[in-house]
Amino acid sequence: MLRSNQEKQQSYEFVSIEDLVPADHMLRKIDKYIDFTFIDEKVRHLYAQDNGRPAIDPLVLFKMIFLGYFYGIRSERQLEREVQTNLAYRWFLGLGLTDRVPDHTTISWNRRTRFKVTSVFQDIFDEIVLQAITHRMVGGRVLMATDLSIYHRGGWQESQATVTGSHSIIIWESSDLVNWSEPRMVEVAPKEAGCAWAIIDTTIIKAGGMYYRASGDGQITIESSERLMGEWKVISTLESLGLELTGKNVEGPEFFKFNGEEKWGLLVDQ
């Protein structure tokens, strides 16, 4: 016998949003290990303390922006809609089932006005990344290669690699630089491009509270900075170190850490 399910939509139930979010949901892991309460201290000086209308909780505001970045929701209008209907998003933000979701125009105004000439977004991003690294939520190494197959297509003259080359790169992944995954092909170039190149000419590490960067910029230049998006100070180049190597000789610099030692090395492709 056929039964209608319409009546159930009109029934009332006592439920907890806590019970509706799966135990293995990624946002539960993030909520467990990332302490977002530092945000209040970061932005307190940007809010009026004794006048004006009550503002949206900055913790909710920045966690909404985090959701947008984390899940690739680029539109603030779409972000508002997603939070309205996604129980896990509501739970992550501390919103109940019937709580009003912050309007997308509020997010936009704060981004374009209140925080426009500040470094608060970068400061908060850096702190979240540092916490994630501390809890080993991010890490590992990626090795990339260009999918040109020059030899098998008759060499550079015959293959016309820069015009008819592959639109993909080959990727291997490892957590220890010893054991590597099987290679996988990822298409990264648009159809109208001649080919895709996997040469990465900048590598960045963090050691001793400082960031270090090596870049192929005509030289192989090594720089340092206190912040990823801060000002970088040139330390040296491989040529000035007496190695007689410039960007004409080598490319693709890559920092690596020696296993079991507080020592770093720099690989270059000759």
Q: Are residues 228 and 252 in the same domain?
A: yes
Which residues form the domain of 24? 14-134
Picking from 82, 103, 134, the residue at the C-terminal end of a domain is 134
- Has residue 248 been placed in a domain? yes
8 domain residue, yes or no: no
Final residue in a domain of this structure, among 95, 116, 134: 134
Q: Are residues 118 and 29 in the same domain?
A: yes
117 and 146 housed in the same domain: no
- Is 73 part of any domain? yes
Residues 98 and 185 in one domain: no
Same domain? For 95 and 126 the reply is yes
Q: Are residues 110 and 47 in the same domain?
A: yes
Structure tokens at 195: 């080919």
pLDDT tens sequence for the chain (270 residues) = 556 666 656 667 787 889 889 999 999 999 999 999 999 888 888 876 666 566 688 899 999 999 998 888 888 999 999 999 999 999 999 999 889 999 889 888 888 888 877 888 888 888 887 788 777 776 666 666 766 666 666 666 666 666 667 777 788 877 666 678 888 887 777 777 767 765 567 888 888 888 889 888 778 889 999 887 778 899 998 888 888 888 788 888 888 888 878 888 888 887
23 within some domain: yes
> Domain total for the chain?
3
Flag whether 46 is in a domain: yes
Same domain membership, residue 105 and residue 185: no
Same domain for 204 and 149?
no
Q: Looking at the domain assignment, is residue 103 inside a domain?
A: yes
Of 115, 134, 153, the residue at which a domain comes to its end is 134
Residue 73: its pLDDT value, please? 87
Q: Answer yes or no: is 187 within a domain.
A: yes
